[in-house]
Structure 1
Amino acid sequence: MTDGHPDLAGYRQGLAAGELRAQRCTGCTTMFWPPRPACPRCRCPDTSWERLPDTGELFTWTVVAHTRLEGFRDAAPYPVGMIGLPGAGIRMIGRIDAPPEELAIGMPVRWTLADSPAGGRRPVWTPVQAVREENR
């Protein structure tokens, strides 16, 4: 699924407004990610886009050592993690802006928009402790 895919329109609009968003089914109220034209639980086609929390928890992570993705080759190695979002019941995958040796399963992380090696601005996750130290 590319950024130009119509299923991502609500997600892109949220980023433009400074919000991370995911879909919620108006039929059964299930929140889900990635976006789809219908709810994966009840198949209802009626969904809304809702704001997600700014912080999550690092569920798992790995280090991308080699990649063929244009723009990311020079960034490798870099960590990518699966982030659990409290109250939403979903997990998202994203780049993590921290050295791998500082990461730990369960640590709190916060998303911010950052320049992507592939162009444009995308969410990047940073350990909450690192965010606090930057704001001092």
Structure 2
Amino acid sequence: MTAQAITTAAAPAPVGPYNQAVLAGGWLYCSGQIPLDPDTGAMVGDGDVAAETRQVLRNLNAVLAAAGATPAQVVRTTVFLADLADFQTVNALYADVFGEGISPARACVQVAALPKGARVEIDCIAWLGGDSQPL
């Protein structure tokens, strides 16, 4: 099996030694996205979790698109929140992207802190191997 790094200028550059995504064996593993503006590298939202979530989802969609994928191909996500009190707000915006058809399996957890003071981070795994079963 070979692995391929997926990168796009339409999403923020990584803030550490990792790739935006890795494609391996038909699976796309997308790193967590935080609300960074891909053009400036600045945080978006000024602490407004709705604005942050919209940017996170834009960034994640950009990485998916760079690999030739859509949100409909996402099979698993993890949502990290700095405060679980933001769950309903984030969930409503998340549903706009992942709510049609078969929604991905998901975990949502509160964490002590996120990079750069973000209030939300989302990662995902997508199946790009076609219509056949992945296993």
Structure number with larger C-alpha Rg: 1
Higher relative contact order (CA 8 A, sep 6+): 2
Could you say which structure has the higher strand fraction?
Answer: 1
Same fold, judged at TM 0.5 (above): no
Structure (1 or 2) with the greater helix fraction? 2
- TM-score norm. by structure 2 comes to 0.28
How high is the TM-score relative to the length of structure 1?
A: 0.28
